[in-house]
Structure 1
Amino acid sequence: MPFALYLLALAVFAQGTSEFMLSGLVPDIARDLGVSVPTAGTLTSAFAVGMIVGAPLAALLGRRRPARQTLLMFLGVFLLAHVVGALTPGFAVLLATRVLAALADAGFLAVGLTAATGMVAPDAKGRATAILLGGTTLACVVGVPAGAALGRLLGWRSAFWAVALLSAPALAAIARSVPGARWSRPEPPGTEARAELRALRRPRLLLTLGLGALVNGATFCTFTYLAPLTTEVTGLDAGWVPGVLALFGTGAFAGVTSAGRLADRRPRPVLRAGGAALLAGWVLLALAAGHPTTTVLLVPLLGLLAFGVGSTLITRALYEAADAPSLGAALATSALNVGAALGPVLGGAAIDSGLGYRAPVWVSALLTAAALVALTVSVRAVRDRQPA
């Protein structure tokens, strides 16, 4: 695999740390800025909304620009947004910086996915995607727990400063090592914007994107409120929160790594078996969240299943949109962040309704069940249309 892929993963690590670290900082942000925990949780949804809008716009704007120039521009904006976020005294400004950072993150990830899969052989998209998304899951293992611990010791603003500082070496590395061309492999013929838009109407691609939104919605619904679940329901001390987040991230890293090897060759077994196991895991966590040992054992398993299934869906979307490389990667990013925006909102609404901190886990189970039903119905519909 090209070394430039790992440099892109370094930047994705910084961005993933920013996106996920709020799971350990939401209670502190709520107290410091005088808002409720569900209101502070909307920072995650705001980030996701920015990515939904930003990915396709960035893909269209960056079509004719060199990849290195586009990636540096997005990463620079991302860095500055975190500096402003660390300095702001008000929730509204913080919310705006999260949207701006998300727009930049979306642009970077959309261009990065296209560049990464263009650097490798046509049948190695899954492995290239796994390396790039490995930066995100490594953020769950290292960046998010470190951000939670740093926020606990020095305040949540210190975690924002840390992300800004982490982005600086990634800027320098990309400037030196990422190819200046838009991507290293020439675009296939007929990939102008209108042609790409026509290619994106395929039912199988749209189904894959929808499944990705549901699965990621389930993941973020619970992950956003994992800190209060750990302290208020499981009964662990707040000092356990970074460790619990690290366990989820360790499982997520293992899920993306293993899925990268299977998504190119055996995607259907991963989606069916992994999806069923994921649903069972959410239900079991909802029922057993009051037991510390069971919760600690389930958290990494759920990270593995959620990110394994999610990354497989991303890979399948890229294969389905092979003749629409720019917008295909952008819409895959947007679909996942539709879920990332929807999940915390639904989880927060469940908490606000008085159902407690177990409620987001039940919502995750419902979203995963909906994805499994959609997958099963679509597979049967395809079989029914095939001639006997």
Structure 2
Amino acid sequence: MPLVLFALMLGVFCVGTAEIVISGLLPQVAGDLAVSVPTAGLLVTGYALGVTVVGPFVTLLTGRWPRKRLVLVLMGVFVLGNLAAVFAPDYGTLMAARVFTSLSHGTFVAVAFSLAAQLSAADRQGSAMAKISLGFNLANALGGPLGTLLGQHLGWRSTFGAIVAIGVVTIGLIAVFVPSALPRPEGAAAGAVRGELGVLSQRNLQLTVVATVLAQGAVFTASTYVVPLLTDVSRFSTGAVSVLLVVYGVGAVIGNFVGGRLADGHVVRGITIVLSALVVVLAVFWVTSTVPALSVITLFAFGAVGFSIIPSLQARIQAVALAAPTLALSVNVSAFNLGNGLGAWLGGAVMDRGFGVRAVTLTGSAAAALSLAFIALSSRMDRRSTAPGIAGDETAAPAVGSEVPSMER
């Protein structure tokens, strides 16, 4: 199990790094390909649109594929796309390579989360998902900064070359350690595309997806502008910010595992705890941001709480979408990406209206509170749909390898 989860986590690290690293290389890409920096910035948008819009359709079309073959093919697409980026002769080719690469992102991440839950004991599925989402933490804390540093010294193509190399290693680990005899998801076994799509019509699933957008939006409302918050409000020097971002990253790694552990016992309770904590921490950040010492402590807490939502919300989706968990997880991956964009826009809108960078923390807190309300509505629907005499949050543990999630909703 540790090697299986490591292989899948490394794949998530690869796709996460490929998504974000281009942001730190825009000047180099623009100069080399003779385009403006804003035009080069569309490479970020193109990738994000591929993940958000096309990703769920890729998941739907590959739903009947054997799981191991699917993740190998997806990583193969990922490697080929990044290899094309290495040798892209012009901007158009690089954009095509980025979009092609993005087609593997959402489905790979969804299947990785699904397999982690499927191969884990009933009371450890949240922790298993946390090990997968650790790949995103490491992509933000290590992959992005190191990839940017490599590209600045050896050229942006070297960064994509390094991603290709790690992707090839990931393919080898998956081929060796991921079991071949894995049952397909329940919805895929039924073979009815309409039935799988029907899962998305479940109201409590829709509410959870909206909650994901708002929760991730809450995090990105503040995190997108955390550097000017630290320099302009907390009065830290530019040189100190890099150290402070490490503090934020350490908190994120710790929070990731705490969120997974909370989801092990009772998913809704875990989500309620982390979202409530996010509401409080962001509100407190508004108060402490003017005091440097307290600002550092709150920044660490924000990193921990902000990244604890990923395994919790993915565990919730896995528990709700019994008939097509992988498709639902893919849709939720798109929801996280939408949340990224929503948060960046929301924070910018608040600042543009003259409220100042400090106000992004209160705005994020409000978004987190709204996300919490949607989770409460979803949980209420669970209780209403539970048959009399059957405990809705006490399900029997399935045999190892069963696709049906047994986590409490």
Q: Which residue of 2 aligns with 1:142?
A: 142
Alignment of 1:340 onto 2:330: no
Q: Which residue of 2 aligns with 1:279?
A: 279
- The answer (yes or no) to whether the contact 1:55–1:103 under 8 Å persists in 2 is yes
> Residue 194 of structure 1: SS of its match in structure 2?
helix
In 1: Cα distance, 2:241 partner to 2:235 partner: 11
> Residue 114 of structure 1: SS of its match in structure 2?
helix
Q: Which residue of 1 aligns with 2:310?
A: 310
In 2: Cα distance, 1:10 partner to 1:355 partner: 41
**Per the alignment, do residues 99 and 367 of structure 1 end up closer, same or farther by CA in structure 2, a change over 3 Å counting?**
farther
Q: 1:145-171, CA deviations, whole angstroms, 9 ceiling, x for partnerless residues? A: 434554566676654444333323112
Q: Which residue of 2 aligns with 1:17?
A: 17
**Per the alignment, do residues 375 and 346 of structure 1 end up closer, same or farther by CA in structure 2, a change over 3 Å counting?**
same
Q: Which residue of 2 aligns with 1:259?
A: 259
Alignment of 1:269 onto 2:269: yes
Aligned pairs (5 A) from 1:173-212: 173-181=173-181, 183-184=182-183, 187=186, 190=190, 192-212=192-212
Q: Which residue of 1 aligns with 2:298?
A: 298
Q: Which residue of 1 aligns with 2:78?
A: 78
In 1: Cα distance, 2:226 partner to 2:261 partner: 29
Q: Which residue of 1 aligns with 2:403?
A: none
**Per the alignment, do residues 239 and 93 of structure 1 end up closer, same or farther by CA in structure 2, a change over 3 Å counting?**
farther
After the TM superposition, which of the residue ranges 229-238 and 104-113 deviates more from structure 2?
229-238
- The answer (yes or no) to whether the contact 1:44–1:340 under 8 Å persists in 2 is no
**Per the alignment, do residues 374 and 322 of structure 1 end up closer, same or farther by CA in structure 2, a change over 3 Å counting?**
closer
Q: Which residue of 1 aligns with 2:365?
A: 365
In 2: Cα distance, 1:233 partner to 1:190 partner: 56
Q: Which residue of 2 aligns with 1:170?
A: 170
**Per the alignment, do residues 372 and 68 of structure 1 end up closer, same or farther by CA in structure 2, a change over 3 Å counting?**
closer
In 1: Cα distance, 2:119 partner to 2:203 partner: 28
> Residue 65 of structure 1: SS of its match in structure 2?
coil
- The answer (yes or no) to whether the contact 1:45–1:345 under 8 Å persists in 2 is no
**RMSD over aligned Cα atoms:** 3.8
In 2: Cα distance, 1:230 partner to 1:64 partner: 49
> Residue 264 of structure 2: SS of its match in structure 1?
coil
Aligned amino acid, residue 346 of structure 1: L
- The answer (yes or no) to whether the contact 2:30–2:40 under 8 Å persists in 1 is no
In 1: Cα distance, 2:263 partner to 2:338 partner: 22
Quote how far apart the aligned CAs of 1:45 are: 5.3
Q: Which residue of 2 aligns with 1:323?
A: 323
- The answer (yes or no) to whether the contact 1:199–1:321 under 8 Å persists in 2 is yes
| Runs (5+) with no aligned partner, structure 2 | 389-409
Q: 1:269-295, CA deviations, whole angstroms, 9 ceiling, x for partnerless residues? A: 333332222122223334544554333
Q: Which residue of 1 aligns with 2:391?
A: none
Q: 1:68-88, CA deviations, whole angstroms, 9 ceiling, x for partnerless residues? A: 332233223333444555666
Q: How many residue pairs were aligned?
A: 383
| Runs (5+) with no aligned partner, structure 1 | none
In 2: Cα distance, 1:226 partner to 1:256 partner: 19
- TM-score where L is the length of structure 2: 0.77
- The answer (yes or no) to whether the contact 1:44–1:224 under 8 Å persists in 2 is no
Quote how far apart the aligned CAs of 1:58 are: 2.0
- The answer (yes or no) to whether the contact 1:45–1:340 under 8 Å persists in 2 is no
After the TM superposition, which of the residue ranges 25-34 and 326-335 deviates more from structure 2?
25-34
Quote how far apart the aligned CAs of 1:28 are: 5.5
Quote how far apart the aligned CAs of 1:111 are: 2.3
In 2: Cα distance, 1:73 partner to 1:220 partner: 32
In 1: Cα distance, 2:12 partner to 2:29 partner: 27
In 1: Cα distance, 2:355 partner to 2:88 partner: 33
Identity of aligned residues (%): 34
- The answer (yes or no) to whether the contact 2:221–2:344 under 8 Å persists in 1 is yes
- The answer (yes or no) to whether the contact 1:278–1:306 under 8 Å persists in 2 is yes
- The answer (yes or no) to whether the contact 1:58–1:110 under 8 Å persists in 2 is no
In 2: Cα distance, 1:34 partner to 1:233 partner: 32
Aligned amino acid, residue 76 of structure 1: G
- TM-score where L is the length of structure 1: 0.81
